């Protein structure tokens, strides 16, 4: 066979194969066309390939190169037709697609209301010069009680009012070894952070700490075994109760609104003297949202400060109750229910 006839046969084969593949209306007809042209036993390409043996030796190089080009072209035409039928053709447009119809809006997550509240409180206190400090949630009795002037016979140290742990060691070492205290517990207040801050820093100090605390309270509308507190501490030379009341009033007005009514009631805490409870009026009822007072001299002595030279105030506010008051939530358990119908409102 002459080279010219062989090349003409290849051109005709390529044209017929491309037409058959592009004209296939479904996967079955496309597969039938593939067998006709590319079948391993009786395919037309196989028949033409056998003709290569009858080409003059001097023309076989050119004939072989053209044979490979046609084979590649037919395979590409088949793959393109297959992709188009499977819906992946880049130039194919679904005739049923209507770009004017609204799409399906994806469900997006958002920040939990407690985290939103913590961020907001941090921003408000930051404007008054308070920096954020952090501390461990697994504490030792010295930081949780002793340094805070809470004696051993105080009800706050009762095992039934705390989550004591069965282990005294944690990863990275034993944090209780240096204190001589052989127990560990989940902290019952963020006041432990102010002790750690005063141990590592000298006055003036102006810090807040926001985090989880744990108490074995029976869950109800206003109590939960795990909740969040914002602890505040200011230590300097001429700090008075008036400074404390001013900070808390400015905070309450910024977070709860200018119309909020708050009051200070005399109270007692082992780590402050004098001490007050801070309440806000909600739905006709006074609700406690924190305790505060001037830092007790015994606390200053526990961390190595001279109570004759420095004074300070501390306060602890319930984050959940502030969040509930701001958003009109009446049951603290809703915040931890995991119910998306509730959480998506924020």
Looking at residue 167, its pLDDT comes to 57
Domain with CATH 1.20.58 in the chain: 3-91
Looking at residue 29, its pLDDT comes to 86
CA distance 206 to 236: 9
Looking at residue 1, its pLDDT comes to 65
Q: Encoding tokens for residue 164?
A: 């004591």
pLDDT value at 320 more than 80: yes
The CATH number fitting domain 3-91, selected from 1.20.120, 2.30.130, 3.30.1490, 1.20.58: 1.20.58
Cα–Cα separations (whole angstroms), residue 258 to 185, 262, 290, 329 = 39, 11, 19, 19
- On whether the CB atoms of residues 132 and 208 are closer than 8 A, the answer is yes
pLDDT band at 222 (very low <50, low <70, confident <90, very high): confident
Tens digit of pLDDT for each residue in 183-221?
A: 799 999 999 999 999 999 999 999 999 999 999 988 898
pTM over 0.75: no
CA distance 215 to 189: 9
Annotation: CATH topology of 113-343:
BirA Bifunctional Protein; domain 2 (3.30.930)
Task: Select from 145, 135, 134, 138 the least CA-distant residue to 187.
Answer: 138
As a whole number, mean pLDDT of residues 161-190 equals: 66
User: Which of 83-97, 212-226, 232-246, 265-279 is the least confident region?
Assistant: 83-97
Task: Select from 209, 191, 201 the least CA-distant residue to 146.
Answer: 191
CA distance 336 to 346: 14
pLDDT band at 313 (very low <50, low <70, confident <90, very high): very high
Looking at residue 299, its pLDDT comes to 94
- Of residues 169 and 202, more confidently modeled: 202
Looking at residue 168, its pLDDT comes to 44
Residue 56 among known ligand-binding residues: no
pLDDT value at 239 more than 90: yes
Looking at residue 178, its pLDDT comes to 39
Tens digit of pLDDT for each residue in 36-65?
A: 888 877 788 788 787 877 778 888 788 788
- Burial string for 280-316 (b: 16+ CB within 10 Å, else e) reads bebeeeeeebbbbbbbbbebbebbebeeeebbbbbbb
pLDDT value at 87 more than 70: no
Q: Encoding tokens for residue 112?
A: 């939990």
- Average pLDDT over all residues of the chain: 85
Looking at residue 230, its pLDDT comes to 94
Domain with CATH 3.30.930.10 in the chain: 113-343
CA contacts within 13 A on the Cβ side of 143: 28
Looking at residue 221, its pLDDT comes to 86
Tens digit of pLDDT for each residue in 126-157?
A: 999 999 999 999 999 999 999 999 988 888 88
Strands 184-186 and 163-165, sheet pairing? antiparallel
Cα–Cα separations (whole angstroms), residue 76 to 18, 79, 90, 221, 315 = 9, 5, 15, 69, 75
Give the single-character DSSP code of 55: S
Looking at residue 88, its pLDDT comes to 52
CA contacts within 13 A on the Cβ side of 184: 15
- On whether the CB atoms of residues 52 and 45 are closer than 8 A, the answer is no
pLDDT band at 66 (very low <50, low <70, confident <90, very high): confident
Looking at residue 93, its pLDDT comes to 63
Neighbours of 175 (CB within 10 A): 17
């Amino acid at each position: 066979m002459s080279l010219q006839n062989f090349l003409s046969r290849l051109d005709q084969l390529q044209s017929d194969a491309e037409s058959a593949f592009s004209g296939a209306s479904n996967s079955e007809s496309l597969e039938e066309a593939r067998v006709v042209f590319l079948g391993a036993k009786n395919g037309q390409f196989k028949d033409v390939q056998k003709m290569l043996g009858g080409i003059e030796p001097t023309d076989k190089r050119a004939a072989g190169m053209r044979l490979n080009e046609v084979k590649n072209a037919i395979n590409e035409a088949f793959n393109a037709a297959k992709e188009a039928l499977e819906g992946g053709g880049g130039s194919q447009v679904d005739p049923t697609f209507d770009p004017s119809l609204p799409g399906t809006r994806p469900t997006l997550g958002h920040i939990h209301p407690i985290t939103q509240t913590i961020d907001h409180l941090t921003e408000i206190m930051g404007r008054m010069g308070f920096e954020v400090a952090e501390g461990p949630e697994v504490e030792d009795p010295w930081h949780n009680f002793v340094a805070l002037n809470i004696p051993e016979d105080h009800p706050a140290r009762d095992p039934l009012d705390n989550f004591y742990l069965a282990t005294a060691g944690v990863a990275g070492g034993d944090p209780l070894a240096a204190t001589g205290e052989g127990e560990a517990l989940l902290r019952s207040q963020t006041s432990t952070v102010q002790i750690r801050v005063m141990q590592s820093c000298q006055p003036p100090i102006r810090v807040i700490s926001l985090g989880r605390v744990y108490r074995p309270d029976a869950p109800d509308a206003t109590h939960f075994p795990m909740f969040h507190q914002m602890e505040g501490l200011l230590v300097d030379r001429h700090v008075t109760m008036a400074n404390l009341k001013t900070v808390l009033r400015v905070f309450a007005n910024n977070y709860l609104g200018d119309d909020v009514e708050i009051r200070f009631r005399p109270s007692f805490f082992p780590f402050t003297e004098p001490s007050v409870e801070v309440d806000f009026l909600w739905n006709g009822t006074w609700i406690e949202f924190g305790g505060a007072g001037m830092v007790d001299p015994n606390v200053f002595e526990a961390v190595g400060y001279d109570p004759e030279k420095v004074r300070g105030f501390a306060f602890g506010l319930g984050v959940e109750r502030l969040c509930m008051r701001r958003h009109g939530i009446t049951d603290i358990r809703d915040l931890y229910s995991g119910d998306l119908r509730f959480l998506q409102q924020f």
